[in-house]
Amino acid sequence: MISRKTGTMVLAGAVLMVTGVIVTSMLLATKPSIIQINDRTFKILELPYTYTKNDAYVLVIGSAVGGMMLSYIFTTLLAAGKSEVKDMITTEKPVEIQVSHTDIAASADVKEESLLIEAVLTALEGDEKKLVKEIADHGGEMLQNELVLSLNFSKAKVSRMLTDLEKRGLVLKKQYGLTNKVALAGKLRGENNEK
């Protein structure tokens, strides 16, 4: 079944179309022409079209009704669009909070996290290994300028290594004032990244 709002929109559209056709056909009426024949020659005279008083009334009323229907349709569509946008803004997905209630689960997570970090450290070599170990020793995150100071590497070297590790998905960098905050990827820190 069609709702009342939809029905009025369809009716307004139909009235707009009918008035548009009537007004357009009256405005595009052809000019009357007269053919004059004089001694083997002929002349076609086009007379200017004059609107009668009734034609003028029909044009004015038709234009007014068409304008009202058009404004009704636009305001209805605009109001519907605003309400849809408002619904999209106010609709939020519920926040899920997962809490482990036992100390056994917490200790298992810590063991799993340390095993994963150890596996990554064995896969890395040299300065990258030192860098990841330093971040892991500081709770999984630290500032990039602190890394430069603690490892005694140049800023460019630390930046290159972090970019390389970030491309491999081991480290995350976020702007933090004039430096970057560097953190181990969520998997290495024991976070569940479920989306």
pTM for this model (two decimals):
0.41
Q: What are the sequence ranges of the domains in the chain?
A: 4-90, 103-184
Per-residue pLDDT of 29-87, as tens digits, reads 887 888 888 888 888 888 888 888 999 999 999 999 999 999 998 888 888 776 665 65
Q: For residue 54, what pLDDT is reported?
A: 92
Q: For residue 136, what pLDDT is reported?
A: 85
Per-residue pLDDT of 162-191, as tens digits, reads 998 888 888 888 888 888 898 888 766 555
What is the spatial distance between Cα 101 and Cα 185, in angstroms, rounded to a whole number? 25
Q: Supply the angle between the helices 144-151 and 155-167 in degrees, to the nearest 10.
A: 120
Q: Distances in Å between the alpha carbon of 120 and those of 16, 33, 37, 117, 187? A: 71, 94, 105, 5, 11
Task: Round the average pLDDT of the chain to a whole number and report it.
Answer: 80
Contacts (Cβ under 8 Å, ≥6 apart) of 153: 127, 131, 147, 161
Fold of 103-184: Arc Repressor Mutant, subunit A (1.10.10)
